[in-house]
Structure 1
Amino acid sequence: MEREELNRILIKQKIAFKASPPSFEKRLDSLKLLSDIIEENKEYFIEAVSEDFGLRAKEETLFLEIFPLQDQIRHAIKNLRNWMKRRHVTGAWFLYPSKAFYQYQPLGSVGIMGAWNYQVLLTLSPLVDAIAAGNHAILKPSEVAPRSAGIIKQVINAAYPEEYIHCVTGDASLAENFSSLPFDHLFFTGSIRVGKLIMKSAAKNLTPVTLELGGKSPAIISDSYPLKRAAKRIMAGKLFNAGQTCVAPDYVILPKNLNEEFLNSTREAVAKLYPDIVQNKQYSHIISERHHERLHAMLDDARNKGAEIVELISHQNNGDKLMTPKLIFDVTEEMELMMEEIFGPILPVVNIDSCEDAVSYVNDKPNPLALYYFDTRRKKVDWLLKNTLSGGVTINDTIYHLAQNNLPFGGVGNSGMGHYHGFDGFRNFSKKRAVMKQRRIAATDFLHPPFTDFKRKLLHYIGRFTKV
């Protein structure tokens, strides 16, 4: 799709928005329609996602994409009226008797760029927030997963008018043209590398951006926490979608004397989670040959630099976009898998004995999208939360903080900027507009020029009460 056609759709949306910004009733109807679309087409979504990957379990798509989407819509419908209310605030005393309040207003037409690893969720979840906030929107799903992108385009464009919500599909050149449009807000989910390009492109139009990126999310295991339980929860979070999850544990930190027990515990966990994993129809494949080759290149690089690569199943078959789970011991900072987000079923183990040193290790790196800490001691947990910075945290489990509708989801620093989900998503796609209403007679009327002796005395009096 040419830039001219994209620009035509955007202009059409902006004209329609200015003529009639979506009311509460229209937003509510649009959210209910989106819910109906998802329910009526969920089998098509599931089939398309599986085709994109070569194999992904129906249950995984339901649990990780369809159900969270429907729950997010339910939450937005339930709370929308309250979110839209104006909020009165205490006014400045020297501006008495004025009143002050703020209200959230839609921005206009927003662009949403989805990601291939959870195409349905990561394209339509920001749309839920954009609709709730009262915006028009153009969607661009990822071209890496073309079947699911095509289904999203088909069902969205059949349900909504072009001037309100529209979906476009295409290759990387479309993404480049898309990000250069003068949207009122641009939302992107993807890699750090591409995120930088998106931000650079949007900057030409001073378009505000939300970047949901990734990075290397660590899982720190305290020596006081039951290792078997930690291993099971880490591997469950790691192996959803075969590790192709932005908040998957990217590496583990634990004391060296726990290596053998951790290895045995992860082997046991994998055997229970995915029996006969090579033939198991519930274990996802890698999205493409290119990504499969990238993961093998990481393994070769680690092996050549002295790492020990341990298979977590008794036999391996890594062909045909399948990659079996592996632990990596004796890793070093020079290895590619310790410099880049892995996005696959490979889990490096970093041996650090104390929690304090583990935190220092994490803090020396870019802020992660997620941080996982396994410890039952409240003081230790509080200390870690105080002394680290990440997009989100789950204590004694992995990934599930992103499913909390009343918590914001988003990165910090290299892992992204801006938040969405629930009220934070509504606010992200809104302008928090300040309003002051002055009365017929106001104190400020006595402070206009010319500044007489009386007014100087009055200013001096006010000044005495404005100091700390």
Structure 2
Amino acid sequence: MNALERTDTDAITESLMKVLNTQREDYLNEGHVSAEVRIDRLRRGMTSVHRFQDKLVDALNTDFSCRPRELSMMTDVAGSIGPFKSAIKQVRGWMRPEKRKSMFPLGLFGGRSRIEYQPLGVVGVISPWNFPVNLTFGPLADILGAGNRCMIKPSEFTPSVSEVMAELVSDAWEEQEVAIFTGGPEVGAAFSGLPFDHLLFTGATSIARHIMAAAAKNLVPVTLELGGKSPVLISRSADIKTSISRIMLGKTMNAGQICLAPDYMMVPEEKLDEVISEIKLAVAGMYPTMLKNPEYTSVINDRHFQRLQENLADAAEKGGEVISLAPAGEDFSRQDGTRKIAPTVVKNATDDMRILQEEIFGPLLAIKTYKDFGETIRYVNSQPRPLALYYFGSDANEERNVLDRTTSGGVCLNDVIMHIMQEDLPFGGVGPAGMGSYHGHDGFKTFSHAKAIYKQAKIDVAGMAGMRPPYGPKTQSTIKSQIKL
């Protein structure tokens, strides 16, 4: 475990660079990274996550003050083991060279083109606090599957989890394979400025600007997995009860502390009361009580708790109807060691409210209404591009219009969040929601260099085509054939 607590920036950078240089040197000395070596590293990681599952779950509950074991097992433990399993099963196929067409007539003469996927080298990972295990080891499976080494900086907001992950990393890999560094913002700042071969950051858009600027000093390519305000579009053709049940499962999971959680909902104006009624029923069915309920997650820390409270106060002050969904009427102002906020909707939210201007990252949901469905597409397009967009309905023309006329990192039809669980779909954002993607084969490609290789034919192609001076009739014939329309 590399716990860098010193505030001396130069000393921190020196410690980090020492490990980076060790990993890079070991990578270069290894040369070709065989499928057997990759699978061994993947299997060690998968086995260690399984071995440390109880410690990880307990640490998650400690850091959040209340986080259900079942949620942590599904999202963080199983969500980490799944990518390892997938990579182990498919990495041999991913590594195969890809044949490409050779320019006419070179292919006829025996010229051959291909792409080989080569490891980048050392990849840095800065992981977040909301799903700290999954968002560390999920991409790590792609990174190791691509044959790389890795250095990890987890969030300081989940120190107990970071400590267990550090044990896990030491259990599974040598430091020259995978290394993890705990510590505060000063460690994160030094880490983001290292000359990695690639850097993956998952977190807030505001922080990503600093990460990208730091990486640019060394021309380090970045993959940014950010967030944004993911809209839910409810069609008049939607089954309201089923739709709301699925939406509120996603909105209340981890108390809404999910980058893909629905941020605002647009519903037909005549269905507003029905929607709110179904929201109340859906929440009550999942969480009859909340304060003492171990299945309802607490907000991660005091700062985020206060931020969410301020968002509600701002909405009420600006004329929004704030509706608490606590079914048992519990008093959330009195809590014993937790920071729980009841799921809450803001009816008739307006654009001047913070709840419609900032990513919520909590169990709050803004609701807007529309008369014509086209209003929903126009509104979405007037906002920064989101990480996810959710459409509920059975109107094929509407669905096609939403897909064709809006741009988002991903789309889920008639559900929320579920698209991230599909390991064969790329996960990533667009615009302020991020850049680049990973998961499965797409992750393998993100963390690989696609090396273009052309093998020339044995015959004298340059001479046959008149490409070698002195130029003559063959040259003119070749040019004429190439520019012919």
Q: CA deviation at 1:464?
A: 4.5
* Residue 13 of structure 2 corresponds to residue 3 of structure 1: yes
Contact 1:94 1:443 in 2 (8 A): no
Aligned to 1:345: 363
1:109-133: CA deviations, max 9, x gaps? 0100101000000111111100000
Q: CA deviation at 1:353?
A: 2.3
Aligned to 2:70: 59
Residue of structure 1 aligned with 2:172, choices 159, 169, 175? 159
Aligned to 2:188: 175
* Residue 395 of structure 2 corresponds to residue 382 of structure 1: no
Aligned to 2:332: 318
Q: How does 1:29-178 map to 2 (within 5 A)?
A: 29-96=40-107, 97=109, 98-178=111-191
Aligned to 1:463: 482
Aligned to 1:421: 439
Aligned partners of 1:32 and 1:364: how far apart in 2? 46
Worse-superposed segment, 125-134 or 327-336: 327-336
Contact 1:410 1:420 in 2 (8 A): yes
1:226-271: CA deviations, max 9, x gaps? 1111111110000100000000001111012211111110110001
Worse-superposed segment, 245-254 or 18-27: 18-27
Q: Does the residue aligned with 1:218 lie in a helix, a strand or coil?
A: strand
1:21-43: CA deviations, max 9, x gaps? 43211100111111100111100
Aligned partners of 2:309 and 2:142: how far apart in 1? 38
Contact 2:132 2:154 in 1 (8 A): yes
Q: How does 1:212-231 map to 2 (within 5 A)?
A: 212-231=225-244
TM-score by length of 1: 0.97
Contact 1:95 1:442 in 2 (8 A): no
Aligned to 1:244: 257
Q: CA deviation at 1:460?
A: 3.4
Q: CA deviation at 1:163?
A: 1.1
Aligned to 1:270: 283
Aligned partners of 1:210 and 1:416: how far apart in 2? 7
Aligned partners of 1:42 and 1:442: how far apart in 2? 62
Contact 1:46 1:61 in 2 (8 A): yes
Q: Does the residue aligned with 1:119 lie in a helix, a strand or coil?
A: coil
Aligned to 2:25: 15
Contact 1:222 1:254 in 2 (8 A): yes
Q: Does the residue aligned with 1:262 lie in a helix, a strand or coil?
A: helix
Aligned partners of 1:68 and 1:145: how far apart in 2? 18
1:128-184: CA deviations, max 9, x gaps? 100000000001111111110111111102321111111111100100000000000
Aligned partners of 2:308 and 2:322: how far apart in 1? 13
Identity of aligned residues (%): 37
From the superposition, tell whether residues 170 and 452 of structure 1 become closer, same or farther in structure 2 (CA, over 3 Å): same
Q: Does the residue aligned with 1:362 lie in a helix, a strand or coil?
A: helix
Aligned partners of 2:121 and 2:471: how far apart in 1? 47
Q: Does the residue aligned with 1:118 lie in a helix, a strand or coil?
A: coil
* Residue 415 of structure 2 corresponds to residue 397 of structure 1: yes
From the superposition, tell whether residues 442 and 456 of structure 1 become closer, same or farther in structure 2 (CA, over 3 Å): closer
Aligned partners of 1:117 and 1:151: how far apart in 2? 16
For structure 1, the residue ranges without an aligned partner over 5 or more in a row are none
Contact 2:377 2:405 in 1 (8 A): yes
Q: Does the residue aligned with 1:196 lie in a helix, a strand or coil?
A: helix
Aligned partners of 1:73 and 1:150: how far apart in 2? 21
Aligned partners of 2:471 and 2:14: how far apart in 1? 61
From the superposition, tell whether residues 12 and 445 of structure 1 become closer, same or farther in structure 2 (CA, over 3 Å): farther
Q: What amino acid maps onto 1:450 in structure 2?
A: P
Q: CA deviation at 1:215?
A: 0.4
Q: How does 1:408-447 map to 2 (within 5 A)?
A: 408-446=426-464, 447=466
TM-score by length of 2: 0.94
Q: CA deviation at 1:190?
A: 0.1
Aligned partners of 1:316 and 1:341: how far apart in 2? 26
Q: Does the residue aligned with 1:250 lie in a helix, a strand or coil?
A: strand
Aligned to 1:203: 216
Aligned partners of 2:330 and 2:202: how far apart in 1? 33
Q: How does 1:184-199 map to 2 (within 5 A)?
A: 184-199=197-212
Worse-superposed segment, 375-384 or 340-349: 375-384
The alignment of Structure 1 onto Structure 2 pairs a total of residues equal to 466
1:382-416: CA deviations, max 9, x gaps? 12101111001110011000000110000000000
Q: What amino acid maps onto 1:312 in structure 2?
A: L
Q: Does the residue aligned with 1:349 lie in a helix, a strand or coil?
A: strand
Aligned partners of 1:377 and 1:276: how far apart in 2? 37
Aligned partners of 1:337 and 1:304: how far apart in 2? 12
Q: Does the residue aligned with 2:131 lie in a helix, a strand or coil?
A: helix
Aligned partners of 2:188 and 2:290: how far apart in 1? 36
Aligned to 2:8: none
Worse-superposed segment, 428-437 or 318-327: 318-327
Aligned partners of 1:442 and 1:333: how far apart in 2? 68
* Residue 319 of structure 2 corresponds to residue 306 of structure 1: yes
1:294-328: CA deviations, max 9, x gaps? 00111111111111100112414334411001110
Q: Does the residue aligned with 2:195 lie in a helix, a strand or coil?
A: coil
Contact 2:467 2:475 in 1 (8 A): no
Aligned partners of 1:87 and 1:298: how far apart in 2? 51
Worse-superposed segment, 56-65 or 448-457: 448-457
CA RMSD of aligned residues (A): 1.2
Q: What amino acid maps onto 1:318 in structure 2?
A: F
For structure 2, the residue ranges without an aligned partner over 5 or more in a row are 5-11
Q: What amino acid maps onto 1:452 in structure 2?
A: Y
Contact 1:95 1:444 in 2 (8 A): no
